[in-house]
Chain A
Amino acid sequence: MTINFENKKQQNSEASVESSRRNFIVGSAAVAGIAIAPSVVLYQTAHADSLQNVSAKEGASSKVRWGMLVDTTKDVDWNKCVEACNKEQGLGNEEESRDDQRTQYIRVVDVKNKGTGYSMSLPVMCQHCEQPPCVDVCPTGASMKRPDGIVLVDRHRCIGCRYCMMACPYKARSFVHEVLHDQKEVTPRGKGCVESCNMCVGRIDKGQEPACVEASSGAIVFGDLNDPDSAISKLLKEHGGKQIRADLKLNPAIHYQGI
């Protein structure tokens, strides 16, 4: 519930100047409707058939905020998502690193309630926080947030200090310990750099969904959290969702149901 509240608050403040006059006429009940109007006009046509909200010429837009909603109640083998991720990003080609050193963009976390014996598993990737601690601590500006909310590592600037790994409360980042070969074109990665889930940024810029979403058989919904008409926003509005460690107030873009 905190999520919806925060989103509304944000939208209100963005459009408060425009809406003030109409507020007076229509009354406070219509505030939310008016506040979201600009983004609807901009994105409704694009969102109808594809996810091509991003213009390749103009780059990532701050009007969009990409997010995911993971339904953990669905009976899905999350390892399929991990496999799809590894294939898309070319992960898993470390030969000499230990298991705990190898890069993971998605971790499958098993949780068990000792009292009731109820157990479940959920995929945990970079949560693409609105206030990312990894970006705060990065000494070189390599850890960065794109205007559309995707948190990335700019490997051109990364010096491998691993401060971001310490700062991340989700343990989302990995460090490459050895010389790599045969990287994928879409994800250049190499020794001495920190890396994490990039929400398949190359695919998003092409108007496609991230690889794990495609492999999840509907258990992960991807979309624009700023667009109230997107599938993810509607689901969140209707059924709600939880963020992991919401108490840290980082406002992650990854929401979960059933946790």
Chain B
Amino acid sequence: MWLQRNFDFSLNSFFNKKIRKINLQKLPLTVAGLALVASFSSTVFANEVEQDELGPKITFPDFEGEKCILPEEEMRRQHPDLLKHDRIKTLREGVRAKADGSKLDGSLKQCINCHATKDDSGKYVRIDNEQHFCVSCHQYAAVSIDCFQCHRDIPEGSGDFHALSNHKNLDYKAVIPGTYSLTVKDMANITPEVHSDDN
């Protein structure tokens, strides 16, 4: 209530100033300003929204009785810290389990294995799809984080990726026309263009 009263007071003083200075040329600007103030005040009065309802609604896959390591509200805030803390432990120190022998909290692999979402055809969606669990929220929050430039974005063994090959005997020009780079061998086969500028 204190906030509301305080706000009303400032609103009145704002109006008074505006009314004193009002002229015809600036009328559209004033109207726009009033509209802005009106919309702002309406959000202030409607500030009863639950924290949970902010942000996009995320669809969780069926965990089959398993629970995430923290409740959803805490995971929303704390998942970056959990991941960052444990990545140092795992990679640099070689720690692969908690002191009691259970799994570490922060494991991107585990996140993906549980949370990976499937599309209508039953295939896992990749990181470039807005249905991907991580993307569904990060896109809304304008977070562009590059975990999946290196990390795998769907569970392994799902069969949704092409077989690994060493591409040794592949003709790149046929596979991806226009996007290949020339190898030394290619260069050797190319006859140099002869410019006849001297004539």
Partners in one complex: yes
Report A's interface with B, CB cutoff 8 A.
54, 56-60, 83, 86-87, 90-99, 102, 144, 146-148, 152, 154-156, 179-185, 188-193, 201, 205
CA distance A182 to B177 in the complex (A): 22
Contact check, A90 vs B92: say whether CB atoms are below 8 A apart: no
A184–B179 touching, CB < 8 Å:
no
Please, how many angstroms separate the alpha-carbon atoms of A87 and B164 in the complex?
7
- C-alpha spacing A180/B64, complex, angstroms: 32
A residues in contact with B89, CB < 8 Å: 59
User: B167 near A92 (CB under 8 angstroms)?
Assistant: yes
Known contacts A182-B161, A188-B152, A190-B150; A95 and B94 CB within 8 A of each other? no
> A184 to B156, Cβ gap below 8 A?
yes
Interface pair A183/B152, CB less than 8 Å apart: yes
- Give A82's nearest chain B residue, CB to CB: B166
**Given known A58-B95, A146-B92, contact A183–B151 (CB-CB < 8 A):** yes
Cα distance A251–B150 when bound, in Å?
A: 31
- Chain A contact residues: helix, strand, loop or mixed: loop
A57 near B99 with CB under 8 A, answer yes
B176 adjacent to A95 (CB under 8 Å):
yes
Given A57-B101, A148-B94, A154-B91; 12 other pairs, CB 8 A cutoff: A56-B101, A57-B95, A59-B89, A93-B164, A98-B181, A98-B183, A144-B92, A152-B91, A181-B161, A182-B162, A185-B152, A205-B94
Interface residues on chain B, number (Cβ under 8 Å): 33
Within 8 A of A (CB), among B74-97: 87, 89, 91-97
Report the number of A-B residue pairs with Cβ-Cβ less than 8 Å. 88
A154 to B92, CA, bound (A): 7
Closest Cβ of chain A to B90, distance in Å, is 8
Sample of 7 A–B contacts (CB below 8 Å): A56-B97, A86-B164, A152-B91, A154-B91, A154-B92, A181-B161, A183-B152
Is B150 touching A193 in the complex (CB atoms < 8 A)?
yes
Q: Is B165 an interface residue (CB 8 A)?
A: yes
Instruction: State whether the Cβ of B17 lies closer than 8 Å to any Cβ in chain A.
Output: no
- CB of B5 within 8 Å of the partner chain: no
- Contact assessment for A191 and B96 in the assembled complex, using a CB-CB cutoff below 8 Å: no
Q: Which residue of A lies closest to B157 (CB)?
A: A185
CB-CB under 8 A from B152, the residues of chain A are 182-185, 188
Shortest Cβ distance from A27 into chain B, in angstroms? 39
Question: Which residue in chain B gives the minimum CB-CB distance to A94?
Answer: B167
Q: Nearest A residue to B98 by beta-carbon distance?
A: A57
